[in-house]
Chain A
């Protein structure tokens, strides 16, 4: 370690409060070209949200309306619709009742994925946790460059530097490091993936 550089570090630690506070509250002016990037990102996010909403709409068979009786099961090829609508050719529907992520991960709950690099394996008691850094280009990197991911199920054997794919419920806690407690899975990837 360079003692002179450390002296500078210690000297900077002693900077007056006013200088430190001014910097914490200062908002940097973005250069003009950055706004084009922000606009593009906003357009992409709007597209993703729209597609997500479309995907979340219940799949229906043509124009057949569901039964007026609220207690009737969701329309499917196996049950006769109350209004007699023709359901021929209708593909089987997913159950209308809400599903928990554990019960039907590929069902009604939307999941998100991102690729990251393992920074540190954490000892968090009962639930395995890992500190990761999302790769450049991942949307999650806009939330934080460090995220603590807690998995409720099994976690593969990981080491610092491993490449992983994380599937989660979309909720990121706005702390630092950020936190994902609703991780569905962590999958170790080969470097070529």
Chain B
């Protein structure tokens, strides 16, 4: 079923909407949540909550991409669960991603303004548009999907070490771009 048709089901308050969403994007959702939480039961609960959030927000929302919309909801739910449980447990998924993203924090030398998440997101998107398509996809798959380095290295046919270096170069390039923009976070 196309996204438009599934979204129509939400708008019609047809309960088949969630079943169709799960049928089309269930694996994608579970994988994304697992990448962040590394817990099967926690990710099951987040996926279930994400479907509920879709039901509550459509209407009035009518996203162009249901996958991207679901993914964003799931990322927010997963990182919230991670934050809540962080004091008790170590989570391999989100911790690794967050530690890598620290490389993107610009140095405070040339600060003109501080930014919130929305503006930072726009700056990152503008920077991504300047990249080669493969680098852009790689950055999104690693830091939006949370896909592991080994998995991505397998898809690229390179060694994980080589990919780690490539990702580091991308993060450093983002940091330089933000420094050029004069932003601090």
Q: A residues bordering B, Cβ < 8 Å?
A: 1-2, 4-24, 26, 28-35, 37, 119-120, 122-123, 131, 145-146, 148, 175-177
Contacts and interface: CB of A to CB of B under 8 A. Distances in A.
Interface of B: 26-28, 30-31, 34, 38-41, 63-65, 67-69, 71-72, 75-76, 79, 83, 86, 94, 97-99, 101-102, 104-105, 116-118, 120-121, 124-125, 128-129, 133-134, 136-141, 143-145, 148, 150-152, 155-158, 185
Contacts of A131: 40
Contact of B34 (A5, A14, A123, A146): A146
Given A10-B117, A31-B158, A145 B148 contact: yes
Given A7-B120, A17-B65, A122-B41, A2 B141 contact: no
Given A16-B125, A34-B157, A21 B65 contact: yes
A141 B28 CA distance: 18
5 contacts: A4-B185, A7-B120, A10-B76, A13-B75, A28-B138
B125 A17 contact: no
B137 A26 contact: yes
Nearest to A148: B40
A14 B101 contact: no
Contacts of A37: 157
B144 A12 contact: yes
A28 B140 contact: no
